[in-house]
Amino acid sequence: MLVKAITGFQDILPDRAARFARLEKTARDVFARYAYREIRVPEMEYTELFARGIGQTTDIVEKEMFTLQDSKGRAMSLRPEGTAGVVRAFIENGLATQDPQARLFYMGAMFRHEKPQKGRFRQFHQIGAEAFGSEDALLDAEVIAMLMDILREADVPGLRLEINSIGDDDSRGRFRKALVEYFEKHRDRLCKDCLRRLDTNPMRLLDCKVESCIGIVRSAPTILPFLNDDCAAHFDSVQNYLRAFGVEFFVNERIVRGLDYYTRTAFEVTTDRLGAQNAVAGGGRYDGLVESLGGPKVPGIGFAIGMERVVELMAERDEDAAQTASIMLVPMDENARRVCVRLAAAIRARGASCLVGVDGRSVKAQMKKADRAGARFALVIGEKELEEKRVDVKDMGENRLAPDGITPEDLAEMFAGAMAESGSAS
């Protein structure tokens, strides 16, 4: 009986994996232009890190983490997001003092125990960035501009950037009071989760997806009128810098983000091509997170991209094709096989992909394999080719990707060299 994959965990097969790789390469190219460096952190951390960083009353910590205990009874969890682990590494490894303005990016798997549905998995992948050390609104705008560069260069269509400010502790204190007063009037219509949030984290009510609550939220107070002068000026500056970068945006006063560590700038990127699960990226500023996790007072801002959703939207390109080899070598006997082994080594040393036919299959069968592999060139090598010390290079079609820098004439010359090396030239 077949043991199947766990519900919510997916196999990423070669054709789709090619798009994941292209998205990763695109992101790396953009990160390099903005002078960000890669960091790799563990996929499992002590649960306390996420409870303190993300927020004890968030849905992620309360319901969605995969948690186990070590031999000493200490709880450990698979990471549900990337920022908390990066901040922990930033503090623990001394970057907070050695390089307090570090610019870091990461890529990898995240885990949340939630109901699987289209565009949402229990194991999913994110590309994220974290910039530390400055409260300047210019940094907020630059981080957002970098995110939009990645998504545009990955050919993601229908993008819409929405931004908001969720203020500082002072602004949010007055806003929470207004929210509680408003939602108390509608207590009898709130869902069970929102009734609990009303006492623990009123701002989370604004992010509820239950239909009965959505209608109530539409008329709830918004935070912008409650911003103090500093937060309002910061938000105005973010908008002005985004305009200077040429980044189109829309102010959405309902954006609060789902994690407790956010302050001031919050943003989300959606697309009109995915239906209900339309968010592809999001992030914001977290000026108090480093300090709350035991580090110095260092501000920060970051974002995360949901790779599965972006990959689903990426335009098809030739390099995503199911090509496994650009050159196919078809040996007809044992002597030819030895030459093909030498020739394959020379081809691969030049940076091209190559397949050598095995199992003594017929020429017809091996040419079918060359076609399925997407090969541009095929070389059939048998007794005649070895005697004449020449080989015909068959071009499989211009719609195939040609091996960079290798021509049919190069292959013929490399064949002669392989014959000499294998001792088949005599």
pLDDT band, very low/low/confident/very high, at 426 (cuts 50, 70, 90): very low
Look up the CATH superfamily of 14-168+228-313: Bira Bifunctional Protein; Domain 2 (3.30.930.10)
Given a cut of 70, whether residue 424 has pLDDT beyond it is no
The CA distance from 286 to 161, in Å, is 19
The CA distance from 113 to 411, in Å, is 53
pLDDT band, very low/low/confident/very high, at 34 (cuts 50, 70, 90): very high
Count of beta carbons in the 10 Å neighbourhood of residue 420: 14
Return the structure tokens found at 298: 């260092």
Q: What is the pLDDT of residue 3?
A: 92
Among 319, 11, 267, residue whose Cα is nearest residue 151: 267
Q: What angle do CA 315, 321, 323 make, to 5 degrees?
A: 160
Greater confidence (205 vs 40) lies with: 40
The region of weakest confidence among 48-52, 87-91, 274-278 is: 274-278
Greater confidence (293 vs 425) lies with: 293
Given a cut of 90, whether residue 414 has pLDDT beyond it is no
Q: What is the pLDDT of residue 316?
A: 62
Return the structure tokens found at 126: 């994110």
- Please answer whether residues 107 and 127 qualify as being in contact, where contact means their C-beta atoms are separated by less than 8 angstroms: yes
Q: Where are the domains of the chain?
A: 14-168+228-313, 323-419
Using only C-alpha atoms, the chain has a radius of gyration, in whole angstroms, of 28
For the chain, the distance separating the N- and C-terminal CA atoms, rounded to the nearest angstrom, is 56
Q: What is the pLDDT of residue 169?
A: 87
Whole-Å CA distances, 295 to 94, 96, 106: 9, 7, 20
Given a cut of 60, whether residue 322 has pLDDT beyond it is no
The CA distance from 366 to 328, in Å, is 9
The CA distance from 337 to 333, in Å, is 6
- Please answer whether residues 44 and 71 qualify as being in contact, where contact means their C-beta atoms are separated by less than 8 angstroms: no
pLDDT, the chain, mean: 87
Greater confidence (54 vs 2) lies with: 2
Given a cut of 70, whether residue 320 has pLDDT beyond it is no
Average pLDDT over residues 244-272: 87
Look up the CATH superfamily of 323-419: Anticodon-binding domain (3.40.50.800)
Given a cut of 90, whether residue 109 has pLDDT beyond it is yes
The CA distance from 59 to 286, in Å, is 19
Give the chain's largest Cα–Cα span. 96
